[in-house]
RNA sequence: GGACGAUUAGCUCAGUUGGUUAGAGUGCUACCUUGACGUGGUAGAGGUCGUAGGUUCGAGUCCUACAUCGUUCACCA
């Protein structure tokens, strides 16, 4: 074995072997089922650290459950990611000199599919590097034919129920991706903008209104101006006409509550085709809807001479014209929020168009109702995210699902004149034309937990509902909520019992990782440098449920160091158990230390078990880490060195190490497999070994106390030795109380070896002494020095002071009847005992100070 | 404006249902190179737990208010 841990060597080939042995494949019907479906990554690119985190959590759960005896199924898959992928494919085509929109749809789609295959390969290889135990025999893609069938089934059913409708509405329109978006695909940012005050002249007088707008180019879509019916300044002017600035067009003055008397001049322009509120005003007053923008973000013929000019260029030119004509009264800086497209980052335009929508209120009601039933609800971890979810569900708006793209599930609707046919199959007869649009990607993702399990043909109920879904809080609205309401609607059941929500990965300075900041970290680079085990252990041990995680390379290094520590512990065990593995394993005549480490292991298993079931992986990692490093390596291995010829010691060394690698396997699959194989005769994988189990019989409370006492004595002596700068020539005299006296006498050989000294009966001549005080007696340290031992006195004095302080505190506490009456009795007892010990110790110290 | 989260050691973070000397990693200081590991070992310094009140025998933990940072929803002519 190499002295330095080599992650590249250890991690190579293992994944292929696991695959070959079909260890990731589920389906053993004798075992209880357990199922997770992966949140399908987009086929737009490579996996990032967020994916690594998300999937590692799932792999930990799956590997743990598999070792616990479950038929653990983890279904892999990928998402077609409509807008994002189409943009990437287009970008590539353009860079090759092809205009993607000039292609025919089928040709383009072929290219998109080859893109998909290309990236699917990359993603699969990255999953492999991470060590994810995915059952590839069940892999799905959101555009697969069976998924398409599920999508159509859902669309047609909801349409027939009246939950899906087509209508002309104001939607969020992305002029770069040239498609409609749902409201949650818009990201609002607070920004400074200019509020332009425009002069709307009355048609038949010199009087005018001052109207403020941040989007002057939309005046071409104005069809009225509105004042509040209660506004005495203007309400008598209803139905009079005003002239749109720069245009020779008259529009009426209307009375509507929408106009806020307090805001600006109290008069607002109404642009029904480019503003949600105005659209509603328009409906109330039967106003025309004038669209003044083309789908690509340029002005249309309603803008007259500005036709075909970009919307922002038009704004600039128009403002100049208004200025020249004296129609711009003033400009004012304001901050307001501007909507950007989540995908293309283009400024969103509210736009009147005919789109498909899901009417969500009934579905939402059902979902909210279901959350009140403890037996059928989806359990959120951490719980607080349930409120976030319910809050959104309560205020939900209809979901715009049509997208003007080529990459996606085409809407199963056909038109012929005024007729419409919605169905899984095209209508018979001539002249029908299918809707050009596709569905929102999330429409298909929403079916993921059951569409991947054979729905609607035959839903595999064995794995449904899924046991747990793992995802980040950023997609609760996009995905989690939609999976829940669709599953309740179509299966009358939750899609998963539990949903585990994690945070986002940030950079070392707490900033979001993003392409534009260039602060992203490629998990494959990290794996190359430190190994997947180190990356995984870093991710799992440094995060707490629902909280964001800062990426810190130093912490990955620390995880690597842990790897190296285990590796070298293994080296030690192997070097010293050459005749093992053999059938000679024995736990006969266990020593005090053997019992101690077995009991500590047992405690570790118990804590691990408890925490892992609660998804508290940081606790699991830290518990195992400290057991391995502080108990097994620092103490047990050190102590074992004085007893290495004993087969029992060898057996315990191997046994505990084997249990350690099993405990760690879900977190660090590669190195644990490597080590497990070194002690495993039959060559079966650690993946299918049994996860360590707590054993009530191995508590050895007495032995734990004894060893903890020995550790305390050793540590205290080391401390005194260092504080007093005592060289290695020193001796100890045991003057402890009876019980402890014998404890130390029984083990004085190894204690002496560890402390590099020995016990003597009397102080050797010419030596000075320091008395080390414990609650249970004293040990005298004899040392060879010409210096006086004032330091010793100072130390004692200091110790005395803190002791007195503590004794006073405790005495007061115990004198307080409220405490002794109300506090739990065991607490009161332990306080009394501590007080006794402290008083004893104080006596001894005072004696010495005399 | 509503809701949620964060505020604990120099830094990054844990801290279960309140239990009395608040933990880890990293960094820092001193010492140690006897074969598991110097990517290590040993010992140590370092915190009035954001502020102010309150409940309680007892508060980092529960309640109220405030402050700072962040997230999110809504509004935005």
Q: Band of the pLDDT at A682, cuts 50, 70, 90?
A: confident
Strand B: list positions under 7 Å from protein Cβ: 2-6, 12-15, 19-21, 24-26, 30-31, 34, 36-44, 56-58, 72-77
Tens-place pLDDT, residues A107-150: 999 999 999 999 999 999 999 999 999 999 999 999 999 999 99
- Cα separation, A283 vs A226, in Å, equals 13
Mean pLDDT of chain A: 92
CA A505 to C1' B49, whole Å: 26
CA A756 to C1' B34, whole Å: 10
Backbone angles phi, psi at A27, to 5 degrees: 125, 5
Statement: residue A579 has pLDDT above 80 = no
Statement: residue A582 has pLDDT above 70 = no
The angle subtended at Cα A646 by Cα A641 and Cα A651, nearest 5°, is 90
Statement: residue A785 has pLDDT above 70 = no
CA A683 to C1' B21, whole Å: 50
* Closest residue (Cα, C1') to B37: A568
CA atoms within 13 A on the CB side of A394: 7
Nucleotide nearest to A837 (CA to C1'): B21
Q: pLDDT > 70: what percent of chain A?
A: 98
CA A596 to C1' B13, whole Å: 31
- Cα separation, A128 vs A20, in Å, equals 13
Q: Establish whether the CB of A266 is closer than 7 Å to any nucleic acid atom in strand B.
A: yes
- Cα separation, A263 vs A269, in Å, equals 13
Contact of A501 with A546, CB cutoff 8 Å: yes
Q: pLDDT > 90: what percent of chain A?
A: 77
* Closest residue (Cα, C1') to B2: A391
Contacts of A313 (CB under 8 A, 6+ apart): none
Residue in the block written with tokens 């993702």: A445
Q: Establish whether the CB of A5 is closer than 7 Å to any nucleic acid atom in strand B.
A: yes
* Closest residue (Cα, C1') to B16: A611
Tens-place pLDDT, residues A36-66: 999 999 999 899 999 999 999 999 999 999 9
* Closest residue (Cα, C1') to B42: A718
Which of A839, A9, A139, A35 minimizes the C-alpha distance to A465?
A: A35
Q: Which of residues 593-652 of A touch strand B (CB under 7 A)?
A: 618-619, 622, 625-626, 629, 633-634, 637-638, 641
Going across the sheet that includes A379-381, the strands are A379-381, A496-502, A466-472
Residue in the block written with tokens 């002017």: A237
Which of A714, A626, A628 minimizes the C-alpha distance to A671?
A: A628
Q: Establish whether the CB of A162 is closer than 7 Å to any nucleic acid atom in strand B.
A: no
Neighbours of A323 (CB within 10 A): 12
- Cα separation, A478 vs A480, in Å, equals 7
Q: Which of residues 29-58 of A touch strand B (CB under 7 A)?
A: none
Residue with the bigger pLDDT between A833 and A629: it is A629
Two tokens, residue A781: 């340290």
- Cα separation, A25 vs A190, in Å, equals 50
CA A217 to C1' B74, whole Å: 26
- Cα separation, A421 vs A594, in Å, equals 77
Backbone angles phi, psi at A174, to 5 degrees: -100, 105
Q: Establish whether the CB of A675 is closer than 7 Å to any nucleic acid atom in strand B.
A: no
* β-bridge mates for residue A190, sequence order: A337
- Cα separation, A737 vs A744, in Å, equals 10
CA atoms within 13 A on the CB side of A614: 14
Which range is least confidently modeled, A197-201, A663-667, A809-813? A809-813
Statement: residue A67 has pLDDT above 80 = yes
- Cα separation, A315 vs A123, in Å, equals 44
Distance of alpha carbon A665 from its chain centroid, rounded? Answer: 21
Q: Which of residues 709-748 of A touch strand B (CB under 7 A)?
A: 714-715, 718-719, 722-723
* Closest residue (Cα, C1') to B3: A388
User: What pLDDT is attached to residue A670?
Assistant: 97
Two tokens, residue A159: 């349409």
Contact of A403 with A83, CB cutoff 8 Å: yes
Q: Band of the pLDDT at A804, cuts 50, 70, 90?
A: confident
Contact of A337 with A189, CB cutoff 8 Å: yes
CA A325 to C1' B47, whole Å: 68
Q: Could you tell me the CA-to-CA distances from A843 to A122, A565, A840 in Å, in that order? A: 72, 44, 5
- Cα separation, A811 vs A807, in Å, equals 6
Contact of A171 with A109, CB cutoff 8 Å: no
User: What pLDDT is attached to residue A520?
Assistant: 85
Two tokens, residue A691: 């996860």
- The DSSP annotation for A485-510 comes to HHHHHHHSS-SEEEEEEE--EE-TTS
Q: Establish whether the CB of A684 is closer than 7 Å to any nucleic acid atom in strand B.
A: no
Tens-place pLDDT, residues A381-420: 999 999 999 999 998 999 999 999 999 999 999 999 999 9
Element (H or E) spanning A129, and its range? helix A105-130
Nucleotide nearest to A610 (CA to C1'): B16
Q: Establish whether the CB of A564 is closer than 7 Å to any nucleic acid atom in strand B.
A: yes
Q: Band of the pLDDT at A584, cuts 50, 70, 90?
A: low
ipTM: 0.95
Q: Establish whether the CB of A813 is closer than 7 Å to any nucleic acid atom in strand B.
A: yes
Which range is least confidently modeled, A342-356, A490-504, A517-531, A719-733? A719-733
Q: Establish whether the CB of A258 is closer than 7 Å to any nucleic acid atom in strand B.
A: yes
Contact of A501 with A386, CB cutoff 8 Å: no
Two tokens, residue A801: 């002071």
Nucleotide nearest to A802 (CA to C1'): B21
Q: Which of residues 480-519 of A touch strand B (CB under 7 A)?
A: 510
* β-bridge mates for residue A781, sequence order: A732, A770
Q: Band of the pLDDT at A512, cuts 50, 70, 90?
A: confident
Tens-place pLDDT, residues A176-208: 999 999 999 999 998 888 999 999 999 888 889
CA A134 to C1' B22, whole Å: 42
Q: Which of residues 459-478 of A touch strand B (CB under 7 A)?
A: 474, 477
CA A442 to C1' B48, whole Å: 52
CA A691 to C1' B20, whole Å: 38
User: What pLDDT is attached to residue A791?
Assistant: 58
Nucleotide nearest to A211 (CA to C1'): B77
pTM, 2 dp: 0.94
Tens-place pLDDT, residues A447-465: 999 999 999 999 999 999 9
Statement: residue A787 has pLDDT above 70 = no
E strand intervals along A453-575: 466-472, 496-502, 505-506, 549-550
CA A652 to C1' B51, whole Å: 54
Nucleotide nearest to A1 (CA to C1'): B36
Q: Band of the pLDDT at A625, cuts 50, 70, 90?
A: very high
Contact of A171 with A351, CB cutoff 8 Å: yes
Element (H or E) spanning A18, and its range? helix A14-20
CA A537 to C1' B23, whole Å: 20
Which of A636, A641, A765 minimizes the C-alpha distance to A704?
A: A636
Q: Establish whether the CB of A827 is closer than 7 Å to any nucleic acid atom in strand B.
A: yes
CA A507 to C1' B70, whole Å: 15
CA A632 to C1' B12, whole Å: 27
Nucleotide nearest to A338 (CA to C1'): B76
End-to-end, the C-alpha distance of chain A in Å comes to 58
CA A540 to C1' B56, whole Å: 38
Neighbours of A655 (CB within 10 A): 17
Which of A265, A289, A437 minimizes the C-alpha distance to A350?
A: A289
């Amino acid at each position: 074995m190499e002295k330095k841990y080599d992650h590249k060597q250890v991690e190579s080939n293992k994944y292929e072997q696991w695959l070959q042995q079909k260890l990731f494949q589920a389906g053993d019907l004798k075992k209880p089922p357990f199922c997770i479906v992966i949140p399908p990554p987009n086929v737009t690119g490579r996996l990032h650290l967020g994916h690594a985190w998300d999937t590692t959590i799932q792999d930990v759960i799956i590997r743990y459950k598999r070792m616990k005896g479950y038929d653990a199924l983890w279904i892999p898959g990928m998402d077609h990611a409509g807008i994002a992928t189409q943009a990437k494919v287009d970008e590539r085509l353009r860079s090759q000199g092809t205009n993607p929109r000039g292609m025919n749809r089928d040709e383009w789609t072929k290219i998109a599919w080859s893109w998909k295959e290309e990236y699917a390969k990359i993603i699969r290889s990255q999953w492999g590097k991470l060590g994810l135990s995915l059952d590839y025999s069940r892999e799905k893609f959101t555009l697969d034919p069976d998924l398409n069938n599920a999508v159509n089934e859902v669309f047609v059913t909801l349409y027939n129920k009246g939950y899906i409708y087509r209508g002309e509405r104001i939607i969020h329109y992305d002029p770069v991706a040239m498609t409609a978006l749902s409201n949650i695909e818009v990201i609002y940012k607070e920004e400074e903008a200019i509020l332009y005050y425009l002069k709307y002249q009355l048609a038949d007088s010199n009087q005018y209104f001052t109207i403020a707008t941040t989007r002057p180019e939309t005046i071409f879509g104005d069809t009225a101006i509105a004042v509040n019916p209660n506004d005495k300044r203007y309400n008598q002017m209803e139905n009079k006409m005003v002239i749109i600035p720069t245009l020779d067009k008259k529009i009426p003055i209307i009375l509507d509550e929408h106009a806020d008397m307090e805001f600006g001049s109290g008069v607002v322009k109404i642009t029904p085709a480019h503003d949600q509120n105005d659209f509603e005003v328009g409906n109330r007053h039967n106003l025309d809807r004038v669209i003044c923008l083309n789908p690509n973000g340029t002005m249309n013929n309603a803008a007259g001479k500005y036709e075909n000019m970009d919307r922002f260029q038009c704004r600039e030119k128009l403002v100049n014209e208004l200025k020249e004509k004296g129609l711009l009264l003033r400009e004012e800086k304001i901050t307001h929020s501007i909507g950007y497209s989540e995908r293309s980052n283009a400024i969103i335009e509210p736009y009147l168009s005919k789109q498909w929508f899901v009417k969500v209120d009934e579905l939402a009601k059902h979902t909210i109702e279901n959350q009140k039933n403890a037996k059928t609800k989806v359990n959120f971890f951490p719980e607080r995210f349930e409120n976030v979810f319910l809050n959104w569900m309560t205020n939900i708006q209809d979901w715009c699902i049509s997208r003007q793209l080529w990459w996606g599930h085409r809407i199963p609707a056909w038109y012929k004149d005024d007729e419409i046919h919605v169905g899984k199959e095209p209508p018979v007869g001539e002249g029908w034309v299918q809707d050009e649009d596709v569905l929102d990607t999330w429409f298909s993702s929403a079916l993921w937990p059951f569409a991947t399990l054979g729905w609607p043909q035959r839903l595999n109920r064995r794995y449904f509902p899924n046991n747990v879904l793992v995802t980040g809080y950023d997609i609760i609205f996009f995905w989690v909520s939609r999976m829940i309401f669709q599953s309740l609607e179509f299966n009358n059941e939750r899609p998963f019992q539990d949903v585990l929500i994690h945070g986002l990965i940030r950079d070392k300075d707490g900033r979001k990782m993003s392409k534009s900041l260039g602060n992203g970290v490629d998990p494959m680079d990290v794996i190359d440098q430190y190994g997947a085990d180190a990356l995984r252990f870093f991710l799992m041990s440094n995060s707490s449920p629902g909280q964001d995680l800062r990426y810190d390379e130093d912490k990955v290094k620390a995880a690597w160091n842990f790897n190296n520590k285990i590796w070298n512990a293994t080296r030690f065990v192997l070097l010293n158990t050459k005749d093992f593995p053999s059938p000679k394993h024995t736990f006969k005549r266990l020593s005090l230390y053997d019992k101690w480490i077995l009991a500590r292991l047992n405690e570790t298993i118990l804590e691990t078990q408890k925490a892992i079931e609660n998804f508290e992986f940081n606790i699991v990692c830290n518990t195992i880490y400290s057991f391995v490093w502080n108990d097994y390596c620092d103490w047990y291995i050190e102590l074992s060195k004085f007893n290495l010829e004993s087969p029992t010691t060898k057996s315990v060394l191997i046994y505990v190490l084997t249990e350690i690698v099993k405990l760690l396997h879900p977190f660090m699959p590669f190195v644990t497999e490597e080590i497990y194989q070194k002690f495993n005769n039959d060559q079966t994988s650690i993946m299918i070994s049994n996860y360590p189990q707590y054993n009530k019989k191995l508590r050895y409370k007495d032995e734990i106390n004894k060893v903890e006492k020995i550790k305390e004595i050793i540590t205290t002596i080391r401390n005194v030795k260092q504080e007093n700068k005592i060289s290695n020539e020193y001796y100890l005299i045991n003057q402890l109380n009876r019980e402890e006296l014998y404890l130390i006498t029984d083990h004085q050989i190894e204690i002496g070896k560890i402390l590099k000294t020995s016990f003597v009966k009397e102080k050797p001549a010419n030596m000075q002494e320091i008395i080390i005080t414990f609650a249970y007696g004293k040990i005298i340290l004899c040392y060879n020095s010409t210096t006086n031992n004032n330091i010793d006195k100072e130390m004692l004095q200091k110790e005395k002071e803190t002791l007195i302080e503590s004794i006073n505190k405790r005495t007061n506490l115990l004198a307080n009847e409220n405490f002794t009456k109300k506090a739990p009795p065991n607490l009161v007892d332990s306080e009394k005992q501590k007080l006794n010990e402290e008083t004893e110790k104080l006596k001894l110290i005072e004696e010495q100070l005399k």
